Amino acid sequence: MPFLPIGCVDDERVIEGGQDTHSMRREGKKRFVISSAAALLAAAISFSPVFSGSASAASLLPLSDNLQQTPWAIVSGGRVACYVASRADGKAVLTGLRIKYYDSVQTQQTAVMDPLVTIERVKGTVPSAVRILSVKQAVKELADKEGSDPEKAVVKLSYAKTLKEVQPVKHKTKVVKTKALEKGEKKVKVKGETGKRYQESEVVQVNANVVKKQVMKSDVVEKPQTEVIYEGTALPAKVKGMAVIAYGKKFLGNPYVWGGESLTHGVDCSGFTMKVYEHYGITLPHSSQAQGNCGKEVSEKDMQPGDLIVYSGHVAMYAGNGMLLHAAGEKVGIILSDNIHYSKIKHIRRIFGTDLDTSRDNDFPDAGVIRKAFESVKGFGDASGLADSKAH
């Protein structure tokens, strides 16, 4: 369908582009013209749907004699974006978009409209289907068309600036393996500190969305401090204690001999604990009272397998699950028993993980093997014991 001439009118429009606003009016002789707005309206009617918020071409034809309020069209990139009641409303819509997208007054004023936006008066007969929006409605609808993609915006307000910022520089972490700590245990030796980087970038925004960022200058002004973490490789004290109990179980039923130091032929209470610990390279005195001063003191709630439980004149090893492993006396020999008698305990001493611990991880089997033997009644290791000897 060919363009339809709208009428004999004065050419009247407002052009919005960048920071310039122009109003052009030609006085005097009237001539038969198709104004820019009329041509755009005719094109919309003839060939394509008008943007959301306006009527489709089908709904606009045929032209009606039912005259409506004479509208003004906001035209972006040669296409009608929406219709408003007056030129002042059109300018208010464009100002509203500037305010919506940018907080700074300077940015609002200097943001450039691209493509060119014009406010053009529609002359002639106006179809009833055309929606004339309020300023608030127009700002909302134009912004809604953009969604989250500024490239889809009907009106694009571009702004370029130099962004100066100080950014954090993440510190590195260095892990140092050490036998001074147990497996799974970690200790921060040097605390890491975040550094700082000064950066200048050229940034292009469209409707407040960054569409381009180019780093022009980047300097580390404060170096980060590397964090140093000590990570333990030593077998945990609890697992070592379980190994002591698992080894000691191999001698259950062997005789009690006062002053004895043979796990097979006879030991007394402190001789038993001494010889079992000696198997793992740790030297204890052959005296229950003296063993009460070895290692470090722990509470009843913190007891774990292998800890020495010292009574007046007697010493045993905590075997876990409320049990004792000890050379209990001449009548029973080496036994497992549940008569801990907490009220009579004088000391609970831990050997592993203290200065007295001279054991080596290589003296112990794998942790899984230790746990399995600990749970077994028979324990593990060589049951022949060490050479017979007597305490002096």
Give the domain ranges of the chain: 7-155, 160-234, 237-375
The pLDDT-based confidence of 171 (bands split at 50, 70, 90) is very high
**Confidence tier at 67 by pLDDT (50, 70, 90):** very low
pLDDT of residue 380: 86
pTM of the predicted model, to two decimals?
Answer: 0.49
Query: For the structural domain made of 160-234, what CATH number should be given?
Result: 2.20.230.10
Least confident of 9-13, 103-107, 187-191, 344-348: 9-13
Averaged pLDDT score across all residues of the chain: 81
Average pLDDT in the 57-72 region? 45
Residue 321, pLDDT above cutoff 80:
yes
For the chain, give the percent of residues with pLDDT over 90. Answer: 64
Residue 184 pLDDT > 60, yes or no?
yes
Predicted pLDDT at 42? 36
163-193 burial, b at 16+ Cβ within 10 Å, e below that, comes to: eeeeeebebeeeeeeeeebbeeeeeeeeebe
Second-level CATH architecture of 237-375: Alpha-Beta Complex (3.90)
Can you spell out the DSSP letters for 199-268? EEEEEEEETTEEEEEEEEEEEEEEPPBPEEEEEEEEPPHHHHHHHHHHHHGGGTTPPB-TTBEETTTEE-
Specify the pLDDT at position 379: 87
pLDDT grade for 384, boundaries at 50, 70 and 90 = low
Mean pLDDT of 68-96: 90
Distance CA 114, CA 116 (A): 5
List the beta bridge partners of residue 297: 349
The residue count of the chain comes to: 392
pLDDT at residue 22, as a whole number: 34
> What's the average model confidence in pLDDT over 287-304?
96
- 99-110 tens-digit pLDDT: 999 999 999 999
Measured distance CA(9)–CA(22) in Å, rounded: 19
pLDDT at 138 over 50: yes
Task: Return the minimum-mean-pLDDT range out of 25-29, 81-85, 144-148, 192-196.
Answer: 25-29
pLDDT value of position 180: 80
> Distance of alpha carbon 336 from its chain centroid, rounded?
51
Residues 39-51 pLDDT 10s: 333 333 333 333 3
Ranking 16-30, 63-77, 183-197, 199-213 by mean pLDDT, the lowest is 16-30
> What's the confidence (pLDDT) of residue 382?
67
Separation in Å, CA 61 to CA 20, 36, 78, 121, 128: 36, 20, 21, 20, 10
Q: What is the pLDDT of residue 13?
A: 55
Choose from 117-126, 325-334, 382-391 the range with maximum mean pLDDT: 325-334
Over range 322-347, report the average pLDDT.
Answer: 95
Contact call for residues 178 and 228 (beta carbons, < 8 A): no
pLDDT at 389: 36
Least-confidence region, from 4-13, 64-73, 226-235, 367-376: 4-13
SS3 269: helix
- Report yes or no: 307 and 357 within 8 Å, Cβ to Cβ: no
Average pLDDT over residues 202-220: 94
Quick check: 205 pLDDT over 80? yes
The predicted model gives 131-143 an average pLDDT of 94
**What is the pLDDT confidence band of residue 289, given thresholds at 50, 70 and 90?**
very high
